[in-house]
Amino acid sequence: MSTLLVTGGAGFIGGNFVHRAVATGHHVINLDKLTYAGNLSTLASLRDHAGHRFVQGDIGDAPLVTALLAEHRPDAVINFAAESHVDRSIDGPAAFIQTNVTATLALLEVTRDYWRGLSADQAQAFRFLHVSTDEVYGSLGPEGRFTESTPYAPNSPYSASKAASDHLVRAFHHTYGLPTLTTNCSNNYGPYQFPEKLIPLVIQKALAGEELPVYGDGLNIRDWLFVEDHCDAIATVLGRGTVGETYNVGGDSEQTNLDVVKTICALLDSRVPTSTPRASLIRFVRDRPGHDRRYAIDAGKIQRELGWTPRNDFTSGLALTVDWYLANQAWVTGILDGSYRMERLGQ
């Protein structure tokens, strides 16, 4: 058992990771600012669990993080906290620079100072794992895949801010010796994803009989990974990754956005039949500015060196996801009617 400081653990991937970490016997300090994307109902089953402590706060709040590190003496910091939605970064990039760059720098500085105060054995075993995205690599043509040596070429304010944070993490390893690890993962999907992202958005709209917006011609390609496989990869890198290295994580599941939407419609039609097939609700809308055409991950390094492979392919993972949303409509409704925000205020 080890103690982990997890940031952003009330969000989508962080929340899934926290459930996994607590279930596998770790003690988790979960630091989350509870922006619009943070949701305490994701953590409801852990509320009274001795292995989980939730702290509302900002990763950029150096005195708070210093105090948490001093009190709990974690063996690792795992940084999920971020502004994560590309469309929001186009409308308002400043929040992305604030959290993903400035606050991440503050977290790195405070963690470095904590790490420097550890005994030699503890310092050697300590890890700072930074969770990042394949979007830092930019857009691909029809051929090729991103490897760990693909040059960074971020195209959105979101991916530019994540690229900056990746560079800071790298610099903290090379300059100060902080034992860092970075993972760059493809698009995630699965339980607890905020319904502004493509898959949960389409599930909700299709269930409500609303139009299903698809950007441009719908032929943009993403490489999809079921969130529990991503969490498994993060745990693998944390346990066995080489300090200072980055690891690409992906599901080898390239799909056009249009195919994703059509598959969700077919899954819903088979589970909740309607008179008209839900694919008839698809509407093509004006493309996102600067929309990257194709992402594809070469996950060969983590597979070869650390023995990680995803357990789910896109078909099984998407079926699990659709079934989870059907069984957890109260979780979604809490977001849609805004009541999840009141929960955090204790109202």
Residues designated as active site: 134-135, 158
Neighbours of 162 (CB within 10 A): 29
Q: Nearest CA to 112 among 31, 30, 176, 183?
A: 176
State which residue, 172 or 194, has the beta carbon closest to ligand NAD: 194
Residue among 80 and 340 whose Cβ is closer to ligand NAD:
80
Query: At closest approach, how far in Å is the CB of 119 from ligand NAD?
Result: 28
Output the smallest distance, CB 186 to ligand NAD, in A.
7
Residue 156 Cα distances to 77, 87, 162, 243, 290, angstroms: 27, 9, 10, 29, 7
Q: How far is the CB of 124 from ligand NAD (least distance, A)?
A: 26
Q: Which is nearer to ligand NAD, 12 or 278 (CB)?
A: 12
Residues 6+ apart with CB under 8 A from 57: 31, 32, 33, 64, 65
Contacting positions for ligand NAD (CB under 6 A)? 7-8, 10-14, 31-35, 37-38, 58-60, 80-84, 99, 103, 131-133, 162, 185, 187-188, 194
Of residues 273, 238, 252, 258, the one with CA closest to residue 185: 252
Structure tokens at 138: 């930019």
The pair of three-digit structure tokens given for residue 203, joined into one six-digit string: 């599930």
Q: Which is nearer to ligand NAD, 185 or 296 (CB)?
A: 185
Phi–psi pair at 221, nearest 5 degrees: -110, 135
* Least distance to ligand NAD, CB of residue 56, Å: 9
Q: Enumerate residues 6+ apart whose C-beta is below 8 A from 256.
A: 218, 219, 220, 221
Nearer to ligand NAD, 85 or 112 (CB): 85
- As measured in angstroms, the least distance from the Cβ of 82 to ligand NAD is 3
Query: How far is the C-alpha of 36 from the C-alpha of 343, rounded, in Å?
Result: 12
Nearest residue to ligand NAD by CB is: 11
CA distance 232 to 253: 17
